[in-house]
Amino acid sequence: MLRRSCAAAFLAVVAWGCGRPQPPGEGALQSAGADTECAEPFDPARDYFPETADVTEAELFRVSYHRSYKLLDVDAVGVPGGVARYLLVQCGAPVPDEHADRTAITIPARRLAITHSYLQEAMVLLGAVDRLVGVQRTDYAAAPEIRAAIDAGSVFPVGAGHHTDIELIAALDPDAVIVYEPFHAESTRLIDMGVPVIPSTDGREATMLGATEWMQVVAALLNREADMNRILADTRNRYAALADRVADVVDRPTFIVGRPYRGSWYLPGGRGNWAGLIEDAGGRYLLHDDPSAESRPRSLEMVIDRGEQVDVWIGVSDAESIGELLADEPRLGALRAVETGAVWANDAARDDEGYNPFWEHRLPHPDRMLADLIQVLHPDRSTDHALRYFRRLPAEEAARR
């Protein structure tokens, strides 16, 4: 492998001695991801990557192919020059000298940590959970396959951002760690320790399908582009067919998303992919004229002042009724959606163990989200669709027994 931390074994012993989870041993590693695709003996005339990633909408990452290695560039905040550059070298192939300035990673990766929960599902779709060693949090792991791996002790919660468990990640010795943008000090510490860190900037993609294509970064690390191409092609086709149902809708309800917290309301910009997804469902975003893509706090007063324009309120979390929302913040009664009862929670898919896959599914399954949103906004354009993620909040919570 190109990068193997000599301190990993020591850190694993220290972690175990302190009563923390012990990473899988070498035997488990071999059984979980034994590579049969190494370039041994290396053939300089062979193209080791006959299948390349089909990327049509994502604008913030690029993958190019060069027989025995790939170049991955990621536009990211907080990295020198605004672009993180990686060299993905086929196992057994020589490292090209002309790209010595890039972070080198041996592929196909055998051990990945993904602290950006939206991308965990890519490992499930590719049948590669056996190559996953770290996730952000147990309660952010809605996929049964990942929860089973956590229970079995082959996948560990390693945190994210300022709560990243640096020592545990190092002990797990991943080939790479995928984090959510921006880089935090914890990411820099991992890089200083020799652990490649790849920021995912899907949140700034202009379209939901563009964000979905970030699963190709995972596929590129695993040499599974052909499989991901098929997955994404099916997703694009289903998404397009659904969007066509409401493309000619004239009456587009104005919507708002999320929920205020301590006087602020984190809302995506008008060019954000979450807003774009709901507009593809036949809605009109309250902040459609905002030119940014990032979510940022807005004043609750601003939303209240425009309350008469809010026809539908989508994506409320952790609420049992509209009455509960008003008890927490009476001024929300000024929203037209509250007056008409058009308030929808995003937890209908929560399972018996309390796991809600809504956020983890938004990126890998935008077609499912779109089908639900069309049912919410334009039920007359939906055909026998049973809501998967959304439920309409009752006016008052049912009396507790």
Quick: pLDDT tens for 341-395. 999 999 999 988 888 999 899 899 999 999 999 999 999 998 789 999 999 999 9
Going by pLDDT thresholds of 50, 70 and 90, the confidence category of residue 182 is low
Residues 88 and 72 sit within 8 Å (Cβ to Cβ): yes
Residues 316 and 259 sit within 8 Å (Cβ to Cβ): yes
For the chain, percent of residues with pLDDT exceeding 90:
72
Going by pLDDT thresholds of 50, 70 and 90, the confidence category of residue 396 is confident
d(CA 389, CA 89): 40
Residue 3 has pLDDT above 60, yes or no: no
**Vertex 60 angle, CA 77 and 83, to 5°:** 45
Residue 68 has pLDDT above 50, yes or no: yes
Q: What's the confidence (pLDDT) of residue 16?
A: 37
Residues 185 and 139 sit within 8 Å (Cβ to Cβ): no
Could you tell me the two tokens for 334? Answer: 């000024």
- pLDDT tens for 331-352 read 999 999 999 999 999 999 998 8
Question: 390 versus 263: which is more confidently predicted?
Answer: 390
d(CA 385, CA 372): 8
Q: Lowest mean pLDDT: which of 20-24, 39-43, 387-391?
A: 20-24
- For residue 351, the tally of other CB atoms under 10 A from its CB is 10
Q: What's the confidence (pLDDT) of residue 12?
A: 39
- pLDDT tens for 193-212 read 999 999 999 988 999 999 99
Q: What's the confidence (pLDDT) of residue 271?
A: 87
Domains in the chain with CATH codes: 8-233 (3.40.50.1980), 248-392 (3.40.50.1980)
When pLDDT is averaged across residues 224-243 and rounded to a whole number, the result is 98
Q: pTM of the entire structure?
A: 0.88
Going by pLDDT thresholds of 50, 70 and 90, the confidence category of residue 36 is low
Going by pLDDT thresholds of 50, 70 and 90, the confidence category of residue 2 is low
Question: 183 versus 254: which is more confidently predicted?
Answer: 254
Q: What's the confidence (pLDDT) of residue 131?
A: 98
Residue 253 has pLDDT above 70, yes or no: yes
d(CA 33, CA 55): 26
Could you tell me the two tokens for 227? Answer: 């499989």
Q: What's the confidence (pLDDT) of residue 8?
A: 40
Could you tell me the two tokens for 245? Answer: 């149902």
Q: What is the mean pLDDT of the chain?
A: 88
Q: What's the confidence (pLDDT) of residue 19?
A: 41
Q: Lowest mean pLDDT: which of 65-69, 77-81, 231-235?
A: 77-81
Which residues, at least 6 apart from 320, have a Cβ–Cβ distance to it below 8 Å? 393, 394, 397
Q: What's the confidence (pLDDT) of residue 73?
A: 98
When pLDDT is averaged across residues 175-203 and rounded to a whole number, the result is 89
Q: What's the confidence (pLDDT) of residue 205?
A: 93
- For residue 237, the tally of other CB atoms under 10 A from its CB is 11
Going by pLDDT thresholds of 50, 70 and 90, the confidence category of residue 153 is very high
d(CA 236, CA 33): 30
Strands (E), 145-252: 156-157, 176-180, 197-200
Residue 313 has pLDDT above 90, yes or no: yes
d(CA 64, CA 259): 41
Which residues, at least 6 apart from 46, have a Cβ–Cβ distance to it below 8 Å? 39, 67, 68
Question: 37 versus 28: which is more confidently predicted?
Answer: 37
